[in-house]
Amino acid sequence: MSRTIHLALHPYGVGGPGQHGLWKDPRIAKNSSIDINYYIAQAKAAEHALFDALFVVDSQFINATYPAHYLNRLEPLTLLSAVATHTRHIGLVGTASSTYNSPFNLARRFASLDHISGGRAGWNVVTSFDTGTSKNFGLDEHLDYTTRYGRALEFVRVARGLWDSYEDDAFPADPERGLFLDPAKLHALDHHGEHFHVAGPLNLSRSPQGQPVIFQAGVSEEGRDLAAQVAEGIYAPGGSLEQARAYYTDIKTRTAAYGRDPDHIKIFIHGGPVVAATDEAARRREREIFEEDDDFGRNLALLGRAFGAYDFSVHDLDAPFPDVVHLAEKGGRTGAAKLIERARSENLTLRQVGSLVNEFHRSPFVGAPETVADTIERWFEAGTFDGINLAFRTNDDLELFVDGVVPLLQKRGLFRTEYRADTLRGNLGLPVPANRHTRAPQLLNG
């Protein structure tokens, strides 16, 4: 079967980082981030267009400077469980922290979503970007990078062990023999590791896809290495075609080095297409969107997130960028380090660095439908992604892409014309993980 593109939808709600003005759009319901009907409608539209997944982000710390969507939004697994009952095929990927959860509880919650959805659950593993989260969980300090990523790797392995608690035929439910469970096919985990001690077993059987699909979004060395070891899907940073291709090659190479099949890790780059009747109209609209969202105060607060929610407003904006290297280690280290290096090399002021957070960069996926389809095809054939995680400001923008671009991709044989499976793994072409107690993996169609 020829290689085809995977598409996922990332709903914006009332606007997250970089979409500071979205909530002001009259087409956006001011309660959309807490309106389950908004998410159900988004999921149905994406499913109608044969997308692979709906992706929901999360964080567990805010202050008043945070983006509108962050201030008032639903918990991902609760949200996705509701969406599951209104959809049949689309995957449901939720973000949950390995730093501020326990493996047993989270494994059970994702396994429950997997059963509720009939095998469509995915877990986006994060190590928590916001340092302030620690104080919501009784800790004085956010864990350092090495500890967070070591904990994340062990967390995923524990969760996978718990998801294998039952063999597939563990429940004969035979009244004649008075046997509901075959006890020989129930397995305790008895995990004793550096970060966790978990007895198990989990009180929930495997779903039709075996286990939820593991996603991850890592740019740092630790993040890339974690992805290469455990991820089956990745949300990649994107950038230029050359940067995206370099990231794609690096992850696939690392994956092979760990003895895994590189085809069993699907890399999704971020895409915020702007589609209009003509290229000129789309470029005009792209610039308008930037200007609608360009709020310096919000950008300065967003800069602070990379440094542990640090309040940069206490500094003179026109003085040299302050020395905050020590704050980057427990925040967004990779992005923070790049900003610090650029500030030093170019002798930038705080005001100039704050403006870098929301610099105008022309997106490659902007134009008339034919132009956008051409660009997607060129990037795909150049080996920059397996899929695109799409974000649209409004339902109108989603419809323009679905009605204009998707049919062109289908006509070129680059995107499916029907779902090939009922599970997320099946549609991504990923194998059902082998239950460690029984059998070999089985590749689903997709």
CB 229, CB 258: distance < 8 Å:
yes
Question: What is the pLDDT, as a whole number, of residue 408?
Answer: 98
Question: What is the pLDDT, as a whole number, of residue 212?
Answer: 98
Whether residue 278 is annotated as binding a ligand: the answer is: no
Residues 353-412: tens digit of each pLDDT: 988 887 888 899 999 999 999 999 999 999 999 999 999 999 999 999 999 999 999 999
Instruction: Encode burial over 393-427: b for 16+ CB neighbours within 10 A, e otherwise.
Output: beeebbebbbebbbebbbeeebbbeebebbbbbbb
Residues 333-343: tens digit of each pLDDT: 677 888 888 88
Query: Which residues of the chain form CATH 3.20.20.30?
Result: 6-280+363-443
Question: What is the pLDDT, as a whole number, of residue 218?
Answer: 79
Q: Is 290 helix (H, G, I), strand (E, B) or coil?
A: helix
| CATH 3.20.20.30 at 6-280+363-443, yes or no | yes
Question: What is the pLDDT, as a whole number, of residue 439?
Answer: 59
- What tokens appear for 154 in the block? 């062990």
Burial grade of 184 (CB within 10 A; 0-12, 13-18, 19 or more): exposed
Q: How far apart are the first and last CA of the chain?
A: 9
Question: What is the pLDDT, as a whole number, of residue 446?
Answer: 42
Q: What span, in angstroms and rounded, lies between the C-alpha atoms of 212 and 94?
A: 10
CB 387, CB 8: distance < 8 Å:
yes
Whether residue 33 is annotated as binding a ligand: the answer is: no
Whether residue 95 is annotated as binding a ligand: the answer is: yes
Whether residue 149 is annotated as binding a ligand: the answer is: yes
Which residues of the chain have a pLDDT value below 50? 1, 445-446
How many C-beta atoms lie closer than 10 Å to residue 179's C-beta? 12
